[in-house]
Structure 1
């Protein structure tokens, strides 16, 4: 997928924020929407987006509110209700439709589907209704630790390397630079609103569990959990609880990957989702009459 093939546009949310997104692929193909994790931006999906477009899909890859090039909420409205509303604004009446959500993006997807968003397939990336508390605390601690930013890009690389010691230190830090913005004081800060950390974790996780229960009570549909076998968020116990709640769902394990599966093992991740979509949402299912 060449850079020219990506179409950049903005979507307005019901409460007046602007959501930034990239769109690629044939306009009449089945649509795959990519939802990144907390503290990330749409650029974390760059390789996955290229693979999906090469596979014939239309792809929408957007920055969640408070992240990347999307607007921050002046009131700090970052509950899953707000994020699900944003997702509905992004997809409109688009069908056929698949959602691929990592961590916060997966929670957003679950909640939106539980609220009635019609989808043809759903992929949850290393997120379940019962995540490991210690892993969640490690992520939120990392995000709280660096709100004052970094003096240099190397400092940011050091911080990420300390958080992900299993991942090789990047030779070219330009990808990480996309997630940082230089402020008037000269310091580099993550390009997400620090207020998102203030959203009560207990409320967030309770919402996810209620949403998963609602989905479990409905009709089965194509659903897959992609799990990093080295993840500290999704454990064997998390997967067992997920299988008990949603026995019709598929589970794909990715060896050598932690919570950030697409970053750790992008090849295996792309292969897993492309196989799942080929079986449940092949490109031949597109219906131009249902496009938006």
Structure 2
């Protein structure tokens, strides 16, 4: 394991000092209070969530939840493709990310899930297929855990942080806390350099022998990351590393597709995708041989077709 990979590992586990568990049901009034203001949904606590709403408004609905430290822009290939196939595709920038507000508080999975619920309810979306990548996969899981599947038709977890990233006594498959401590330390030291190192290294698999670094992908990751708030992305490390999604996955009662890169160095499939069927009876797992974490870009054509096939079932 090289120095950067060790740093990423250390960083990834750092924020797990306080393990988050499934929360009690949310007061419906809090979600109902969300309003639409142009290209934003405004939550009950005043956070403005930037929303993309593409494709025919009467088409089957697919929502997309993005990864850390990115924005809804990271889904543009999938959204453009599915919109052209007749789907209504909706994605928001998570609180603290992209063009959304940067609140000091609320940078945790419960708020992320409630924000997704606010978008779904404010736009009155129904029979939705929820798609989440990496941290966004956790957001999808926590949404179902807190809000159920009354508006949900299917779910897709792509390179997701589910079931539980942190190694604990009852989760020996997780990663040690030292890993995430290093990730958080790197963010505090120089988050701009951290984003460049992640993107030019393990995120897209550019650190593998024979790989050629794609400058466009690296720069796109960097730009999205630097749009986000420092406090927000820092807090989010805890959200994706220390949240136990096992109780949330137990509430999945819809068809679920799990897609993951077999060579994912950020969220290794042995601690994530391959464990989901233990908790979700209807889960189907597809591993892309040799693929890295960032498969929404590196394997976008295959991912687009797999998503379309799952939606059409």
TM-score tier (shorter): 0.7 to 0.9
With normalisation by structure 1, the TM-score equals 0.76
Where does structure 2 lack aligned partners over 5 or more consecutive residues?
Answer: 1-37, 166-172
Pairs within 5 Å for 1:64-83: 64-74=94-104, 76-83=105-112
Alignment of 1:1-292 (within 5 A): 9-74=39-104, 76-92=105-121, 93-117=124-148, 118-127=151-160, 128-131=162-165, 133-134=174-175, 141-142=182-183, 144-147=185-188, 148-150=190-192, 157=196, 160-164=199-203, 165-166=207-208, 168-172=212-216, 175-176=220-221, 178-179=223-224, 189=226, 191-198=228-235, 201=238, 205-215=242-252, 220-232=253-265, 233-236=267-270, 238-279=272-313
* Runs of 5+ consecutive residues of structure 1 not aligned to the other structure: 1-7, 181-188, 280-292
Q: Give the C-alpha shift of residue 238 in structure 1.
A: 3.9
The answer on whether the counterparts of 1:130 and 1:241 sit within 8 Å (CA) in structure 2 is no
Measured on the aligned residues, the alpha-carbon RMSD in Å equals 2.9
Q: Is the 8 A contact 1:262 1:269 kept in 2?
A: yes
User: Retained in 2: the 8 A contact 1:14–1:85?
Assistant: no
Distance 1:42 1:175 in 2: 12
8 Å CA contact 1:228–1:253 kept in 2: the answer is: yes
Preserved CA contact (<8 Å) 2:274 2:285: no
Contact 1:122 1:224 in 2 (8 A): yes
How far apart, in 1, do the equivalents of 2:40 and 2:84 lie? 23
Deviation at 1:168, TM superposition (A): 3.3
- The offset of 1:196, in angstroms, is 3.9
